[in-house]
Amino acid sequence: MRLVVDRVSRAFGGVYAVRDVSLTVEPGELRAVIGPNGAGKSTLFALIGGQLAANAGRIEVDGRPVRRLPAHRRARLGIGVVFQAARIFTGMTAAENVMVGAHATTRAGFLAGALRLPAHHRDEREIRSRALACLDRTGLADWADRPAEELPLGQQRALQLARALCARPRLLLLDEPASGLRAGERESLAALIGDLRAEGLTMLLVEHDVGFVMRLADQVTVLDLGRVIASGPPAAIRTDPAVIAAYLGTAPAGRPEGSHP
């Protein structure tokens, strides 16, 4: 899936969190978005995922405008979302949490489910099989039938990723997935993201950890104060003067001296 973000803006009370941001994620590419705190990364993520509405600009997937579509409609088009904060459904097992992710793509429909028709049961069996496979892939196979709220934080984050993968996304949005993870968990996550990229899944990774990004990304877009200040391959971003200035607090172009990521 190809994602195009063209001059997208979002203001809150007259203050722009994102202003005239443009980027393109080609099919099979992993594009990272980085920047200091308050740069607008999470706002941009929510504008693409549909959790926030843009004030201006264009957002397209495979040439189809989605800026005015709600989040659930974007999910049906193949956009999967993994949020920064772990979001789980309490009172449900880990497997049931993951199964929720696939229900937007079921074939049987509401009527079959309400009447408990055979098509509904077939869908449920298929979805559970997919959910168990996704739990296994994210290292959670042993948690399948445990209450989701019993999972430690790192495993709750992995559960979100398993849920997104269960929907078989064509574009996966990841908002700081490594935040709060221990070193071993970060390594496992990096390996899984690398595998997904190798399989051709298009991904947009919003991340604060620059080292994590530089290991994984094909292309990097850097935001500061809601605007794009640099874009290119990781090697070029590492040495870009504007990026260095923004992170070290020496930027002359509108960023207060001494501010840090």
Residues 102, 144, single domain; the answer is: yes
Residues 208, 137, single domain; the answer is: no
Beta-strand pair 30-34/202-206: parallel
Residues 135, 200, single domain; the answer is: no
The answer to whether position 261 is within a domain reads: no
Q: What percent of the chain has pLDDT over 90?
A: 75
Residues 71, 104, single domain; the answer is: no
The answer to whether position 212 is within a domain reads: yes
Strand, helix or coil at 82?
Answer: strand
Does the structure show a pLDDT above 50 at 52? yes
Q: What percent of the chain has pLDDT over 70?
A: 88
- pTM of the model as a whole: 0.87
The answer to whether position 84 is within a domain reads: no
Does the structure show a pLDDT above 70 at 100? yes
Element (H, E) at 255: none
φ and ψ of 158, to 5 deg: -65, -35
The answer to whether position 163 is within a domain reads: no
Domain end call among 152, 182, 204: 152
Residues 14, 56, single domain; the answer is: yes
The Cβ-side half-sphere exposure at 12, using a 13 Å CA radius, reads 6
* Number of independent structural domains in the chain: 2
Helices (H), 36-180: 41-49, 71-76, 94-100, 109-114, 118-137, 153-166
Residue 175: which CATH number?
3.40.50.300
pLDDT digit string (tens) for 240-249?
Answer: 999 999 886 6
Residues 226, 109, single domain; the answer is: no
CA distance 19 to 25: 19
Domain end call among 152, 177, 195: 152
pLDDT digit string (tens) for 138-192?
Answer: 999 999 999 999 999 889 989 999 999 999 999 999 999 988 888 999 999 999 9
pLDDT band at 253 (very low <50, low <70, confident <90, very high): very low
φ and ψ of 247, to 5 deg: -75, -30
Lowest mean pLDDT among 55-64, 115-124, 211-220: 115-124
Q: What is the pLDDT of residue 87?
A: 84
Residues 140, 189, single domain; the answer is: no
Residue 37 corresponds to which tokens in the numbers above?
Answer: 């705190």
Does the structure show a pLDDT above 50 at 257? no
Residues 175, 244, single domain; the answer is: yes
The answer to whether position 159 is within a domain reads: no
pLDDT digit string (tens) for 2-39?
Answer: 999 999 999 999 899 999 999 999 999 999 999 998 99
Give the domain extent around 55. Answer: 3-78+169-248
φ and ψ of 93, to 5 deg: -75, 170
